Structure 1
Amino acid sequence: MRAVVGVWRWRHNPLRRVSDVVEAWLALVALVLMVCAAPAVGALCGARTDATLRRTVAEQRLHRHPTSAVVVRRAGSQAPLAGPDGTTDRVARAKVVANWRAYDGSSHSGTLAAPLSSPAGGAAFAIWTDDHGRPVPRPMPLAAARTHAVFAGICAAAAAAALIEALRRLTVWRLIRRRYARLDRAWARYGPDWGRTGAGS
């Protein structure tokens, strides 16, 4: 709104300079771009991110499989660790040596972080494995993918608006420098004769 007022104010003002009109129109264009272009960039980025994450989720669901691991023995002290399902929380997870069966039926053994307060031999807990039986994080929930996509769109829109404003400020700064340079040249031309009788000032 301020940009529109600025353009209107300089329309017939006898004191206006070309740089004043350019600055006012620049503010108006920047405002229009922030209102129209920045949200469009955000929507495009969010849509592309959402599509990519949906493909990732579908691929993870196709190649990650839930199974149960059985504790053989403890492998270390209890500590806050990321579990085999990919979750990280404040629950202390114990390192254990465990056996599990993969999606293809093969048997595996290894050290895992079990979400058990006092793991004993024979205790079972859920894990996720890939097609080859290696422990992997659980597939990303679709809601989490959607949240990431929305956040990416918001960040893209904000970045676009910031870029537009930065370019406007840079252009205005250059206009002001040119304005002061012209003023300095004019003052150098007429300044020495300022106020002298018959000097035409």
Structure 2
Amino acid sequence: MRAAIGLWRWRHNPLRRTTDLAEAWVAFTAAALLCLLVPLTGWAAGASADASLQRAVRAQHEQRLPTTARVLRSADRPAGGAGTADVAGEERLRRSVVARWTAPDGSVRTGTVTTARRTSAPGADFALWTDRSGHPVAAPMRAGVARAHAAIAGLTAALLTGLMVETVRRLAVRRLVLLRYARLDRAWAATGPDWGRTGTGS
């Protein structure tokens, strides 16, 4: 970014090369994009993700209904047991039980569901979410969780855009440096044979 800072000074500098000016404009353009394009991209991506997730939240709250289930007994342990450390860790917090609940149509249902261990004793009541057919489903996403996911999406989009701008800037500067070295090599090749010869060309 030092090239962009010196852009005004280079306008009247007799030692300024064309590649110096081009490098300064590349840096200035990259800085402008980082200040304008990156926040705009992050905001647009976050707003779009939030709108989509909020629609999903509303749909889930319309399709999933809360009810109260009562534990009848502990469920048999699945054959094979926990296969991974994550599943084993989750089983320490939750437990499979046979429970009874009332479906949205008023019918009584019985099935195997999971609940927190503190509510897994027979006769304990716990909150359960079902679909409109009465089948157990996961709790709907909360609006705050949706906003957090949207913020992460916006931040990720902004970071990726900034990385892309910086990558293009570095590639452009590298190309300008190679061009500068090529010009120096041609200039040296043209004057090299006269090196050390006093009065050559006079």
TM class by shorter chain equals 0.7 to 0.9
The residue aligned with 1:85 is none
Moved more, 179-188 or 9-18: 179-188
Q: Secondary structure of 2:114's match?
A: strand
Q: What RMSD, in angstroms, separates the aligned Cα atoms of the two structures?
A: 2.8
CA 1:100–1:199: 2 relative to 1, 3 Å: farther
Q: TM-score, normalised by structure 2?
A: 0.84
Percent same amino acid at aligned positions?
Answer: 50
The residue aligned with 2:64 is 64
Are the counterparts in 1 of residues 119 and 125 from structure 2 also a CA contact under 8 Å?
A: no
Q: Secondary structure of 1:98's match?
A: strand
Are the counterparts in 1 of residues 69 and 126 from structure 2 also a CA contact under 8 Å?
A: yes
Deviation string 1:144-163 (CA, Å, 9 cap, x unpaired) is 11222222222222222221
Q: Distance in 2 between matches of 1:106 and 1:179?
A: 81
The residue aligned with 1:152 is 153
Q: Distance in 2 between matches of 1:134 and 1:96?
A: 15
Deviation string 1:55-86 (CA, Å, 9 cap, x unpaired) is 01110110011112222221256x9989xxxx
Compare relative contact order (CA 8 Å, sep 6+) and give the higher one, 1 or 2: 2
The residue aligned with 1:179 is 180
Q: Distance in 1 between matches of 2:40 and 2:102?
A: 49
The residue aligned with 2:9 is 9
Q: Secondary structure of 1:117's match?
A: helix
The residue aligned with 2:132 is 131
Moved more, 49-58 or 177-186: 177-186
The residue aligned with 1:102 is 103
Q: Distance in 2 between matches of 1:76 and 1:90?
A: 13
User: Which structure has the highest helix share of the two?
Assistant: 2
Number of residue pairs the alignment of both structures matches: 196
In structure 2, stretches of 5+ residues that fail to align are: none
Offset of residue 111 of structure 1:
2.0
